[in-house]
Amino acid sequence: MSQYPALRLRRTRTTGWSRNLHRENRLGVEDLIWPMFVTSGEGEEPIASLPHVSRWGIKGIVAQAREAVTLGIPAIALFPNTPADRRSADGREALNPDNLACTTIRAIKDAVGDDLGVLADVALDPYTSHGQDGLVDDAGYVMNDATVEVLAEQALTLARAGADIVAPSDMMDGRVGAIRGALEIEGLVNVQIMSYAAKYASAFYGPFRDAVGSRGLLKGDKRGYQMDPGNAEEALREVALDLAEGADSVMVKPGLPYLDIVSAVRAQFGVPVFAYQVSGEYAMIEAAVAAGAGERDALVLETLLAFKRAGCSGILTYHAAHAARLLGG
């Protein structure tokens, strides 16, 4: 039996103050993580497939880190574009304590200290000459256990440089446990692990590969270790394993096409879950704006709020600085 007219759901939507009072989910600057790309060059290198996003030299990244602090953004995520002459089949540059990522982390920490968290990506694709996230055998297969050994050492190298969060994005089995064990032995007990627990073999990563210089290098694809987009229950198994191995938080990647996974992870585990609004998602918004099909401010805030509604503790987004300004950061 209808409760109308006693109950009119439009009643609380009539005025702005009432809509604010009844809002169930809120987006704040504190929910944002800003991904940044560092290059060995000086100055700015615009990324054609990511409008308004650039690679920066270390000085430029430090300036952006200071901007993040000013805006109230709590953390940045750092990704290096390793020079071609530093890439190799075994990705050994990942273990160099003076590599581009480590040098940049130290510079950021010298500039802003603990006013800004630094998330460092743990994977070999920025360092390998073949573009895969791990070590490859003669048949082209990405070897799991041998890669995990290198990833644990890479995570240690980044943590020693000052990374607050190490984020394994490789999708090798067992890597979270190996990294947690290595950090404990080293005494780096407060370094967080944000695991890319459900990272899908997605079509939305193209501009990112341009940004880190791996698109033209990649031999084959990554479907042998990244998740099948058709699978949801498997994502919950991946999350359960990573939590059992010592992850402090988990990530779903990409973001908007996988909000059902974010929601399911939050409902089942009740742990901090993050999502990465990846390069292809960002590029689609910017393409819509350029075509006159949408208004940037509204598109940015609506999509980011969708992550919060699905259960995200925070979002990695290239729109972080723009969103922070809109939110009053």
Just list the catalytic residues. 199, 253
Residue 290 phi/psi, 5-degree rounding, is -65, -30
Between CA 55 and CA 36 the distance in angstroms is 7
Between CA 253 and CA 256 the distance in angstroms is 9
By CB neighbour count within 10 A (0-12 exposed, 13-18 middle, 19+ buried), where does 2 fall? Answer: exposed
Ligand-binding site membership of 238 (annotated): yes
Between CA 219 and CA 210 the distance in angstroms is 15
b (16+ CB within 10 A) / e for 265-276: bbeeeebbbbbb
Between CA 323 and CA 155 the distance in angstroms is 30
Between CA 262 and CA 273 the distance in angstroms is 7
Annotated binding residues for Mg(2+): 238
